Every structure is written in structure tokens, then in C-alpha cells.
Amino acid sequence: MIKYALSCEHGHEFEGWFGASADFDAQASRGLLECPECGSKAVAKQIMAPTVVGAKKRGEPASGAKRQMMMEAMAQVRRHVEETFDYVGDAFAKEARAIHEGKSEDRGIYGEATPAEVKGLVDDGVPVAALPPEPPKKTDVN
């Protein structure tokens, strides 16, 4: 589809969409185009810059300080969960579902689950969230 800026002989401006550039010429020559404001059939294309569709521009990469602040915040969230929630290991999906259904004590838990188990929990309305990853050890960082 091509969008053209158009105007009539009376200076009314509007736009028109065409399947191909030749469609404007074909419709204009057959008298099929008219100004939506005054009905004039003397319609012409206006000079306009082309619209180029491309990838969205991504924001600037986070500065070192911002990145460090975010990593520290994620580490604090993870530490809080590990210190205050019950670790249930690979029984996470089963226990989360039991808590949701009122069959087990309502408490914060964390553990491991397969992607399929997580999808099943989410599909059934069980509130779950992934823990932030463990921060890299300083000995592992270049």
C-alpha cells in the first residue's frame, strides 16, 4: 500500500491509499478520485517525503552505573526470596498449585519448574514469577 498526500484545485488537502503507484494515475484518469471536502475531481499528488519502515530504534545501552544499580536490585530481590520463602525444590509446580487451590498452607515458596509446568500454572491462573538470575561471582567476571 502507498499513501499519497493529495489536494484538489481549491487547495483542500487530504490523503489517499493506493495498492500501487500506478493505481493513482489509473483512478485519476477515469475520474474516480474526488476531494472529500468539496467533491472536485481535479485531484493531484503533493510533494512529500517517503515513509521508510524499518526496525525501531533501540534506546541507548544502560550506562555502567545504571547497569550496576539494576544488578544490585535484582540480587536484593533474589536474596529476599531465598531468605524468607520456603525452598520446595522440583516440587514447585505441585506445591504452587496446592497453595493456589487452598490445599496447602498459604506461604511464599520458590524452587524449580520446567517451562511446561510454568506454562500450565500460568494457564490455570496460578501466580508465578521467575527469580532474577544469580549475579556472577567476581572470580568469574573478566
pLDDT computed for residue 142 by the predictor: 58
Question: What is the Cα–Cα distance from 87 to 84, expressed in whole angstroms?
Answer: 9
User: pTM value?
Assistant: 0.51
pLDDT computed for residue 106 by the predictor: 94
Strands 13-18 and 2-8: antiparallel
Question: What is the Cα–Cα distance from 10 to 34, expressed in whole angstroms?
Answer: 12
pLDDT computed for residue 47 by the predictor: 77
pLDDT computed for residue 24 by the predictor: 86
Instruction: Give per-residue pLDDT as tens, 101-110.
Output: 999 999 999 9
Is residue 97 scored above 90 in pLDDT? yes
Instruction: Give per-residue pLDDT as tens, 50-74.
Output: 666 665 556 666 678 888 888 888 8
Instruction: Give per-residue pLDDT as tens, 1-11.
Output: 688 889 999 99
Phi, psi values for residue 79, rounded to 5°: -60, -45
User: What are the DSSP E strand ranges found in the chain?
Assistant: 2-8, 13-18, 43-45, 86-89, 109-111
Mean pLDDT of 19-42: 87
